[in-house]
Structure 1
Amino acid sequence: MDEGADRPVTNGRLNIGAIRSGFAPWEDPAAKPLVRFEKVTKRFGPVAAVKAVDLSIYEREFFALLGPSGCGKTTLMRLLAGFETPDEGRVLLGDNDLSDDPPHRRPVHLMFQSYALFPHLTVAQNVAFGLKQQKLPKAEIADRVSEMLSLVRLGGLERRRPDQLSGGQKQRVALARALAPRPKVLLLDEPLAALDRKLREETQFELMALQQRLGMTFMIVTHDQDEAMVVADRIAVMQAGEIAQVGRPTEIYEAPASRYVADFIGDVNLFEAVATSVSGGQALFASPDCTGGLAARIDGGVPLAGKLCLAVRPEKMVLHLDPPPEGPNRLAGKVADIGYLGDWTTYVVELEGGRTVRAARANSARLVERPVGWDDPVWLTFAPDAAVVLTR
């Protein structure tokens, strides 16, 4: 097990936050990717599940493939695992083209969504299965099984069978079995989908810590946006077999590259708009949703011709019970619905033109009475730098 040299340590433990915040090999032109997809296309009959995908994943990266069902994310993972063969392009691990390597000869292991544990084998025998296939000495297998079970906190359960385990314990056995051969890349196919919400959230942080302790490359495939945002160093958002955007979670959320990404990642309000003027790094827009117009900060590379779209996250919307000053980014309406989520309250506001937008407020104080109620007249405002101008 590689704890990694020269990595930050606090009180004898790896400082996960320091490692992750300073980890960005994709920004280093000299860094060499561990995994490369080069113009990879995969068809099933007339349908192209993956279309000319170029993608690089780096050693020790926790990478997420995110998208809805049918977008091609699982196919891309199976191409790396060797369960599918590309029709065009190459999949490389380091300098090695994996095209002719069968799955069992690739230093890549896949943890299946169903866990796929052998029901007639004990926990220890399940974990040892891949090691026996490698024909390792019995003593080494025993040591490795003990190490893996300790790592996933299942020590003492070696003799149990899968039907004697909880869902979370089964998930840990499957993880230990996938890690035991020490692959260069661990593939995780919706690994937490079968767990309840609280256990799923706890396991996300455990996976992050485990990946850092092992110094291993993880690639997770998921349709759960929150899961990808929590665990991944970078996310590739997929759309109809193509990569729509690759970036850190904060980049994907705060600076989406398209309407599709903005709409898929979290909640968002999208306003159709046409630019009317530009001055001092700020543009004014005419929009049917706002009689006073919209304003947004822009950079010099944003083309402003034709119809555009402004994306504003609900938490960036400021809710007012009293009319704010006249000006751009001022929307009037009434509260059509309220969703209380404990830490947040979401307000659905029907604008004067009939469309609805969402505003979110953090419940930072314990309230005896709710200050905003159904059918209350309200106003929404947002800062120009809260809006993202989307050209596609």
Structure 2
Amino acid sequence: MKTQVCIIGAGPAGLLLGHLLKAEGVDCVVLEQRDPDYVLGRIRAGVLENITVSLMERLGLDARLKAEGLPEDGFNLADGERLIRIPIRELTGQQVWVYGQTEITKDLMDAAPERGLEVIYEAEGVALHDVDSDAPYVTYTKDGAQQRVDCRFIAGCDGYHGPSRQAVPASVGQVFERVYPFGWLGILADVPPCNHELIYANHERGFALASMRSHTRSRYYVDVALTEKLEDWPDERLWDELAIRLGPDAAANMTRGPAIEKSIAPLRSFVFTPMRHGSLLLCGDAAHIVPPTGAKGLNLAASDVHYASAALVAYFKGGDADAVAGYSAKALARVWQCERFSWQLTKLMHRFPEDGPFERAMQVAELDYIAGSRAAQLVIAENYVGLPV
């Protein structure tokens, strides 16, 4: 098989890139090692920045998002019984949308056949070859037969554990990483949310988050030590802990229900540079991970895809090799800003094991400042809705 761009990974980043390229007449194919049901079964983020929504609008795939998604005008920081509202729409003129990553993936997946985007599922043993040349290729196994895709560029949208990043020589790549001493224990349940806006809570027992996927489906989290086991957290214990950490007002409005999904996700900040090597471009989790505190993971992947699609279209339609050459620097500039915000919000809202009275006093002082300063709230708001691309 021959194509112009071979995209590795059929998560939202890979599918979004494929649709954007096809819309501009750039030939591409998407390879995914899992089957469609597995891809759709992955429970991920649910807060969308303007960049993600605008790309879906550009593709004309935003109808269900606008019909079923929840526009959010603000969110809340809780510290004990204090609730500090960040009025993001009032401060920035913009909103975020609550719409699950699974739903974005479904919208992109469902539109692929009618728009001629070829997605090959259950492509096993994907390997990248000659990425430092102008004629890279990808091999994989499908139904027991070895296959090969010749292309001009490869887009690695295959996540943290995929093969794309491994194709960059160790002598070229550099890793920046901060592993956090806790994970997020999350529960998804078909119950109405306890608040119409998200609540990030800093409690003496630890962090908690009240969020939602719809008017009838809620997503809650507490942070736990990395030594904790999922089997030690039956639903009732987790609901009890959420009620304590989120405070009495949220607890009074909380509806409990059986878990649809429950998991513990470790937290890390991770950046791999460069995001381009030869004919390989990395997008999304293949190049960076952010702690979920700032709701940046999917949105940062979308901004990568925005830059990558623009660079590839410029190359194929205008012969602009400089656009591809500049992809990494352009994408990384926004990556580091999002990493900074996610790290700062994580530090503000979590109790770290190594922290003492001084660090806690600094958190209280920072929250006091945010509560009384419109300027401080504006800084948070403009980062939360998403910096310009």
Same fold flag (TM > 0.5): no
Richer in strand (by share): 1
Richer in helix (by share): 2
TM-score norm. by structure 2 comes to 0.22
TM-score norm. by structure 1 comes to 0.22
Instruction: Give the structure with higher Rg (CA).
Output: 1
